[in-house]
Structure 1
Amino acid sequence: MKRTTLLSALITSAVLTGCATQSTSSLAPFQAQDLNTKVKSGYLVQKTNTFFVINDSSSSMSSIYEAAPFVGETKFDVEKELLHRLNQTIPDVALASGLRSFGFGPCLDWSFTKLNQPVQNYSKSGFESTIATLTCSSGGSPMANALNAAKNDLKNAEGNIALIIFSDGVETTTSPIPSAQTLKEQYGDKLCIYTVWVGNKADEAGKVTLNDLSTVGQCGFSVNGQNIATEAGMANFVENVFFKGGHPIIREKDSDGDGVVDSKDQCPDTPKGAIVDKHGCWTFRGVLFDVDSAKIKSVYHDMITNAVRVLKLNPELTLEIQGHTDSTGSEAYNLKLSQRRAEAVKAELVRHGIAPERLTTVGYGESKPVAPNDTAEGRSLNRRVTYKRTDR
């Protein structure tokens, strides 16, 4: 009697565990598409905050995969390759990740399911290390056990959750559908289920199961592993799992790099280092003077300091310093006053180390007003010194 019971136990164990098949393939080089530009431009808007993978590590995954580009590899190694490509394609966004496997035997520490990585802050290197913990496949296919355990795994997950299941869908134990329904009821709209079928023609029934699982999630979908193996296929998968479409931010050109886009830049020749106003014009244009004065007011000292810095940063830069007046006084007097104002600014620049031969001066008197001279405000704006680049 004891001998019969022992024999029965051994047979049951053999059926459950199968023969553990070790992962034999190293991960192939993969040049992932860079999605960061789409994210930064606003073309992609993040919708998923946590992704949790359930990986099939049962004995059915030990059989050989029959579809390109993985012909000749075990289905288990194909899963790992797809996980690697998924990891390489995820752009630089804040995420949490986790991974649980199912099967039985030594590959899962003699449990039906194993938590390979609890939910934690995602990093490419960290998740790549987790993929490496998937060392072999054995046993039956207790996916339901993994889904049941995920209820607790996800309890601290923040935001929207993408549950991604990699499997051939072949079930030799309990159907996973009720467990998926319970999980969905617990997490509601936060949870979407995505399934990746890694199977052969003989596993078509499993493909149906995985499709049913994604339907339970109501907001996910099911894909064939073969279709997300390419750079473009995986990029499309990542976009649809982690993001939604946004409105791209159109960045206008700023040719002179002064922070004002070309369409609004009234001074497109701004030299490097210049402080500009809202119109993109070097603020050195706006040195204003008191009535009948050529003295530079202290309020403009910072402006002069910036002008010195700009001239030193741009050694090829030469300027014509232009003096102006309002209409008060005679034209002859105003012409001389405007020249004195231009000379005063030049002298200040030379005093700070700028070679005088880089600077010329011209007095325009009252001939070029920028505002009406019939108001005090207008006259104050006309009492000014501006510049013109002469190196272009």
Structure 2
Amino acid sequence: MSEEYEGGGFNLDQEPDKFSIEKEILNRINQTIPNLNLTTSIRSFGFGPCTSWGDTQLNLPPTAYSKPAFNSGIDALACSSGGSPMASAIEGTTMDLSATSGQIAVLILSDGHDLDGSPVPAVQALKQQYGDRLCVYSVWVGNKEEEGGKLLLNQLSDIARCGFRAQAEDIASSGGMAKFVQSVFLKPAAAPDCKSMDTDADGVNDCDDRCPDTLKGAHVNQFGCWIVDIKFDNDKSNIKPEYYSELDSAVQVIMNNPGVHIEVQGHTSNTASAEYNLALSDRRARAVANYLRDKVGANATLTERGYGLTQPIDTNETEEGRANNRRVELKVLR
């Protein structure tokens, strides 16, 4: 956590470290969360003087939530040092929660990279003890070369069968943080059945829709995410002419929404190394973005980003699943 954070969204030091970003996220959570009847706790992990030469340290014991109390726990996070024994912190959290009742939200801030052992068994034990009371959320505070850590953080929420992973830059804005806090801490008392709702009218019900803000007319996959259904040849990033009509359909959707800001995302299967797939996904995202940019001109802002093998939507154990993972998605940023 002492390494420089290279992501966007936080106007702190010119070159803030990841530790400073994590503390800032906790501060913004504390500023955003309403005064609820909660019990809160903060536990850190590492090794060295920051954790009193242990693997984990309880910086704020379980206590009734108040903004000053939670702020004191944040202030107790004085430094970062040593490795990343996340498993030890989760084991400690299992004990911290033993006297609690009601629903549990465990929030993990980490880059998920180069950990001292897998935290998966510890989360499995946590789930076994607390069952349906438990949800696991995470905020990925990492850099591009550490994107493999997202896979691990996703896996932790999957074990709990409740929760999700966010990225630091996605919750840096006040709106992003408000949505995050609402999703974690607040639950509508009488929400309509999401199975019967399709807010963005893309044909995927709100329960299953992972991309709830899709533009009208966009071609979506089974998860409601806007895709351009292009198949690239092995180790290639050039767009074959038979896919021009698919891209032209995306152009029409963009032209119907002038001023939109879209991130063109490249994704791959896992048939090569993470580093290789990241570079390949960058090239494919760039090829699609350039095609769209030539057509839409100044009517939209397009940025491109490769995610490599970090965000599969299907199994990588079959050819069909790998083909589904080799995709380009269009994400509406604003």
TM-score normalised per structure 2: 0.55
Partner in structure 1 of residue 260 of structure 2: none
Partner in structure 1 of residue 100 of structure 2: 157
* Pairwise CA distance, 1:77: 0.2
Q: Is 1:129 aligned to 2:69, yes or no?
A: no
Match of 2:112 among 158, 169, 191: 169
Structure 1 unmatched ranges of 5 or more: 1-60, 249-392
CA distance in 1, matches of 2:67, 2:126: 27
Q: Is 1:62 aligned to 2:2, yes or no?
A: yes
Match of 1:75 among 18, 24, 34: 18
Partner in structure 1 of residue 143 of structure 2: 200
Kept after mapping to 1: 8 A contact 2:86/2:115? no
Please give the secondary structure, in 1, of the residue aligned with 2:99: coil
Partner in structure 2 of residue 89 of structure 1: 32
CA distance in 2, matches of 1:78, 1:236: 19
CA distance in 2, matches of 1:78, 1:175: 24
Partner in structure 2 of residue 38 of structure 1: none
Partner in structure 1 of residue 175 of structure 2: 232
* Pairwise CA distance, 1:230: 0.8
* Pairwise CA distance, 1:214: 1.3
Instruction: Report Cα offsets for 1:12-52 as digits up to 9, x if no partner.
Output: xxxxxxxxxxxxxxxxxxxxxxxxxxxxxxxxxxxxxxxxx
Q: Is 1:212 aligned to 2:152, yes or no?
A: no
Instruction: Report Cα offsets for 1:78-112 as digits up to 9, x if no partner.
Output: 00000000011111221110010000000111110
Q: Is 1:221 aligned to 2:171, yes or no?
A: no
Write out aligned runs for 1:1-392 (5 A): 61-70=1-10, 72-247=15-190
Instruction: Report Cα offsets for 1:147-199 as digits up to 9, x if no partner.
Output: 11111100011210000000011134110011101101100001100010000
Q: Which one-letter code corresponds to 2:61 in the other structure?
A: P
CA distance in 2, matches of 1:243, 1:161: 12
Please give the secondary structure, in 1, of the residue aligned with 2:60: strand
CA distance in 1, matches of 2:146, 2:186: 31
CA distance in 2, matches of 1:183, 1:189: 11
Instruction: Report Cα offsets for 1:41-70 as digits up to 9, x if no partner.
Output: xxxxxxxxxxxxxxxxxxxx1111111123
Cα 1:172–1:92 shift into 2, 3 Å:
closer
CA distance in 2, matches of 1:190, 1:72: 39
Q: Which one-letter code corresponds to 1:113 in the other structure?
A: T
Instruction: Report Cα offsets for 1:299-353 as digits up to 9, x if no partner.
Output: xxxxxxxxxxxxxxxxxxxxxxxxxxxxxxxxxxxxxxxxxxxxxxxxxxxxxxx
The structure with more radius of gyration: 1
Higher RCO, 1 vs 2 (CA within 8 Å, ≥6 residues apart):
1
Kept after mapping to 1: 8 A contact 2:35/2:66? no
Kept after mapping to 1: 8 A contact 2:2/2:18? yes
Structure 2 unmatched ranges of 5 or more: 192-334
Please give the secondary structure, in 1, of the residue aligned with 2:138: strand
TM-score normalised per structure 1: 0.47
Cα 1:247–1:149 shift into 2, 3 Å:
closer
Kept after mapping to 2: 8 A contact 1:142/1:171? no
Partner in structure 2 of residue 304 of structure 1: none
**Which has the higher mean CA deviation after the structures are superposed, 79-88 or 209-218?**
209-218
Please give the secondary structure, in 2, of the residue aligned with 1:195: strand
CA distance in 2, matches of 1:165, 1:172: 13
Q: Which one-letter code corresponds to 1:134 in the other structure?
A: L
Kept after mapping to 1: 8 A contact 2:113/2:148? yes
* Pairwise CA distance, 1:247: 4.9
In the TM superposition, structure 1's runs of 4+ consecutive aligned residues that sit over 2 Å from their partners are: 245-248
Q: Which one-letter code corresponds to 2:69 in the other structure?
A: G
Please give the secondary structure, in 2, of the residue aligned with 1:223: strand
Please give the secondary structure, in 1, of the residue aligned with 2:83: coil
CA distance in 2, matches of 1:100, 1:117: 7
* Pairwise CA distance, 1:229: 1.0
State the identity %.
Answer: 51
Kept after mapping to 1: 8 A contact 2:127/2:160? yes
Partner in structure 2 of residue 19 of structure 1: none
Q: May I ask how many residue pairs the two structures share in their alignment? A: 188
